[in-house]
Chains A and B, each alone.
Chain A
Amino acid sequence: MSGMLAWVLVALGLLVVTGRRRSVAVGVVTVQALILVGAALNSAATEADVVAAVALAVRGVGLAAVVLWLVARTRENRLVRAGIAPLVRAGLAVGLALLLTWLVPHIGLDSRTDERAVLALVAFGLVAVATRRATLFQILGIVLVENGLALAALSLPRASSLAIELGVAFDLALVVLVAAVFHDRIFAEFGSGDSASLRSLRD
């Protein structure tokens, strides 16, 4: 993947960490997935590569449809604010990305830029889950991590297994669907998709 596209993915990832609106964040992770699909099709050498790219596209668009439906179904009366300001979240995300880049030696992907982008997307996903209180943003944080891993799979020097790639796409879709069910139930039970209300289990 070109260096420019990799950094576009990273910039979009930062929007999930800092953005306010759930629907915008859904759009962002979907655009990321579609960029990955374009790159996968562009570099596809075999039929298996094309199938893997199509699976990624179905996953990206399918998840977007499910999550947008969920956004419409669970309208919040007021914005679920994260406990941490956007700039601080961005700082934490960039800091973790830099730390990971410093800690992890050369991974063996096609380019160092791709490696940095992968680590940045994983770091942004982790920070999004840890700092966002809205349950939907936590789901999107997981999707962000998986988009980073999809970029890593695309940048491998040798062909990866189609069965494993399809399995990863299927598993992620399954986990997001189950998370969507729970988001819906949490909204029904607590009147909001705010993970701050999930604090009764403490020792």
Chain B
Amino acid sequence: MTSAQALAAGLIAAPALTAGVVGLAPPRLARRTALIGSAPTGAIAAAFVAFALHDLDHPRVGTWLVADPAGGLLVAVISVVGLVSVLVSPAYLDSSQGSVVRVERRERTYFAALYAFWTVLLAVPLAGNVGAAWLLIEATTAASALLVGFSGKGRALEAAWKYLVLTSLGLGVALLGIVLLSAGVPRSGVGALSWQALATFSSGHDMALVAYLLLLVGLAAKIGWAPVHNWLPDAHSEAPAPVSALLSAALLPAVLLVAWRSQLALAPVVGLRTTQTVLIGFGLASLVVAVPFFWRPMAWKRLLAYSSLEHMGVLALGIGFATPLAIAGIVVHLAAHAVAKALGFYAATPLLAHDPRAAGHAVTGIGRTEPRLGAAVGLSLGTLAGLPPFPLFVSEVLVLAGGFQAGRPWAAAIATLLLALGFLGLAHTLIELTVGKRRGGRAVEIAGLRGVTFLTAASAVALLALAAIGPWLSRTDFVDALLRGLP
């Protein structure tokens, strides 16, 4: 067994074992077991990331396993968000009631499903072929749908149902695309689906284009790209807050990586410009759909959900532009979005304890009633809005500059306009949310507020560091390696 295989096996086995142990543990030990189990997963993930980023010029590529810089970046994001989601979950469980299972099984089921979801998520960036990637993405649906509907409330059941049905159908369409690809590659078995083999597709350009479109439309349903995004706002707003963070900051980018790998693999057959244009189309459509919602008063988690739609659109644009500037923008965007969005969702638990109306309505003046909470939501929303000097401002500038650099001035100009409109809408919400007129809010002991305060400080440091490195990133070997893709 090679080092890459051993690390990958450990990376998947650690959370999977924890899921099993938590599922079988006595109810009173479930929480403690889950919290302890996050440490080995985090440690192995750190080792894998170091390994994947160590030798940028020689990624380990096999039929089943890939350990490359893009995978390393995604594993870093997924492991950090997963780890913090596990750690903040007790605050969610303590502050909420009811679940889709019996009360004595509540914590056990929650943590077992959370770990199962985390396990599959960590495996997605490692998939060495499009078939395995599909299987893992489909598996995330089963694990995460249980978590989306976990509260058992009518709205959560509705959100989980929509998520399950729409993403399963979408992935069915993607699987049809994979079958078409498999029929056109002159190899048999799993080797026909490896990322490198897709470039040998020999059933003609039209067939390759159809297969690519089916695959991408199917994946778009899971990424939440418009116009196949309908499940996204509901699932993100109704899921438990730590799960929402994983859905938005880890699941969507992980599936996006599979779309990116597919685009790079099929570009020689379909045509580089065509594959990129499709992605740019999804990116612009997502911005067009998301931006009007930023001009409406909206419940906090629902606002964050529409923000995910916008940011997945920006990432699609970056992949589509595919210049060093745009790719540097993607790296910063992916990491900063994960930090800011996860912080926003983690802050939702104390926010709901502070002002229960926040579950269904826009709330205002949080900075006046609870300054620490105001700082958390302010930092999160300020970053997500693209406020300078935060890193999403830097990354959006890089992606847009990459668009002009790529000879796509119209797409870049339209995206600039849409992002500016989105910024104005969110900036207004930011002011209202933090220092607006005070309405409601209870002076009570808020569960999880201390943890969120610590996360706010840590996130501020991480975000400023990302903003600082962003402008220099485009000239690094790391971005070169991402541009090259898999050998």
Q: A residues within 8 Å of B by Cβ?
A: 103-109, 118, 122, 125-126, 129, 135, 138, 141-142, 145-146, 148-149, 152-153, 156-161, 163-164, 167-168, 171-172, 174-175, 177-179, 181-182, 185-186, 189-190, 195, 198-201, 203
Cross-chain contact B188 with A159 (CB below 8 angstroms): yes
What number of A-B contacts does a CB cutoff of 8 Å give? 140
Chain B, 186-211, contact with A by CB distance < 8 Å: what is the 0/1 string?
Answer: 11111011000000000110110010
Cross-chain contact B131 with A174 (CB below 8 angstroms): no
Cross-chain contact A182 with B160 (CB below 8 angstroms): yes
Cross-chain contact B132 with A122 (CB below 8 angstroms): no
* B residues less than 8 Å from A190 (CB atoms): 154
Interchain residue pairs with CB less than 8 A apart (29): A105-B210, A106-B203, A107-B183, A108-B183, A108-B203, A109-B183, A125-B169, A141-B169, A146-B172, A152-B176, A158-B187, A158-B192, A159-B188, A171-B135, A171-B142, A172-B138, A178-B145, A178-B146, A182-B145, A182-B149, A185-B157, A186-B157, A186-B161, A189-B154, A190-B154, A195-B161, A198-B161, A201-B158, A201-B159
Chain B, 122-158, contact with A by CB distance < 8 Å: what is the 0/1 string?
Answer: 0000000001100100110110011001001011011
* B residues less than 8 Å from A135 (CB atoms): 161
* B residues less than 8 Å from A164 (CB atoms): 131-132, 135, 190, 193
Cross-chain contact A157 with B135 (CB below 8 angstroms): no
Cross-chain contact B302 with A203 (CB below 8 angstroms): yes
> How far is it, in angstroms, between the C-alpha of A165 and the C-alpha of B165 when the chains are bound?
21
Question: Which of chain B's residues 76-120 have a Cβ closer than 8 Å to chain A?
Answer: 100
The distance from the CB of A160 to the nearest CB of chain B, in whole angstroms, is 6
* B residues less than 8 Å from A186 (CB atoms): 157, 161
The distance from the CB of B426 to the nearest CB of chain A, in whole angstroms, is 16
User: Contact partner of A126 among B149, B169, B190, B238, CB < 8 A?
Assistant: B169
Cross-chain contact A145 with B169 (CB below 8 angstroms): yes
> How far is it, in angstroms, between the C-alpha of A30 and the C-alpha of B208 when the chains are bound?
32
Cross-chain contact B187 with A171 (CB below 8 angstroms): no
Cross-chain contact B142 with A158 (CB below 8 angstroms): no
**Besides the contacts A126-B169, A179-B165, what 8 more A-B pairs have beta carbons closer than 8 Å?**
A105-B206, A118-B176, A125-B172, A167-B131, A172-B138, A178-B146, A182-B149, A201-B162
> How far is it, in angstroms, between the C-alpha of A159 and the C-alpha of B185 when the chains are bound?
11
B233 contacts the other chain (CB 8 A)? yes
Q: Which 5 A-B pairs have the closest CB atoms?
A: A108-B183, A161-B190, A198-B158, A158-B188, A145-B172
Chain A binding site: helix, strand, loop or mixed by DSSP? helix
Cross-chain contact B183 with A179 (CB below 8 angstroms): no
The distance from the CB of A159 to the nearest CB of chain B, in whole angstroms, is 4
User: Contact partner of A129 among B165, B192, B207, B296, CB < 8 A?
Assistant: B165
The distance from the CB of B149 to the nearest CB of chain A, in whole angstroms, is 6
The distance from the CB of A22 to the nearest CB of chain B, in whole angstroms, is 16
> How far is it, in angstroms, between the C-alpha of A109 and the C-alpha of B154 when the chains are bound?
44
> How far is it, in angstroms, between the C-alpha of A135 and the C-alpha of B162 when the chains are bound?
11
* B residues less than 8 Å from A157 (CB atoms): 183
For residue B230, which residue of chain A has the nearest CB?
Answer: A201
B121 contacts the other chain (CB 8 A)? no
Cross-chain contact A138 with B207 (CB below 8 angstroms): no
Cross-chain contact A200 with B164 (CB below 8 angstroms): no
* A residues less than 8 Å from B131 (CB atoms): 161, 164, 167
> How far is it, in angstroms, between the C-alpha of A181 and the C-alpha of B145 when the chains are bound?
10
For residue A173, which residue of chain B has the nearest CB?
Answer: B142
* A residues less than 8 Å from B478 (CB atoms): none
B293 contacts the other chain (CB 8 A)? yes
> With contacts A171-B139, A174-B139 known, is A198 near B162, CB below 8 A?
yes
* A residues less than 8 Å from B189 (CB atoms): 159-161
The distance from the CB of A114 to the nearest CB of chain B, in whole angstroms, is 11
> With contacts A158-B187, A185-B100 known, is A108 near B180, CB below 8 A?
yes
The distance from the CB of B407 to the nearest CB of chain A, in whole angstroms, is 30
The distance from the CB of B479 to the nearest CB of chain A, in whole angstroms, is 33
For residue A165, which residue of chain B has the nearest CB?
Answer: B131
The distance from the CB of A26 to the nearest CB of chain B, in whole angstroms, is 17
> With contacts A159-B188, A185-B149, A189-B157 known, is A106 near B207, CB below 8 A?
yes
For residue A48, which residue of chain B has the nearest CB?
Answer: B189
Cross-chain contact A174 with B142 (CB below 8 angstroms): yes
> With contacts A138-B165, A181-B146, A182-B164 known, is A200 near B158, CB below 8 A?
yes
Cross-chain contact B164 with A168 (CB below 8 angstroms): no
Chain B, 279-311, contact with A by CB distance < 8 Å: what is the 0/1 string?
Answer: 000000000000001001010001000000000
B396 contacts the other chain (CB 8 A)? no
Cross-chain contact A108 with B207 (CB below 8 angstroms): yes
* B residues less than 8 Å from A177 (CB atoms): 142
Cross-chain contact A142 with B207 (CB below 8 angstroms): no
> How far is it, in angstroms, between the C-alpha of A107 and the C-alpha of B159 when the chains are bound?
35
> How far is it, in angstroms, between the C-alpha of A1 and the C-alpha of B154 when the chains are bound?
45
Cross-chain contact A105 with B207 (CB below 8 angstroms): yes
Chain B, 160-174, contact with A by CB distance < 8 Å: what is the 0/1 string?
Answer: 111011001100110
The distance from the CB of A120 to the nearest CB of chain B, in whole angstroms, is 12
* B residues less than 8 Å from A125 (CB atoms): 169, 172
B47 contacts the other chain (CB 8 A)? no
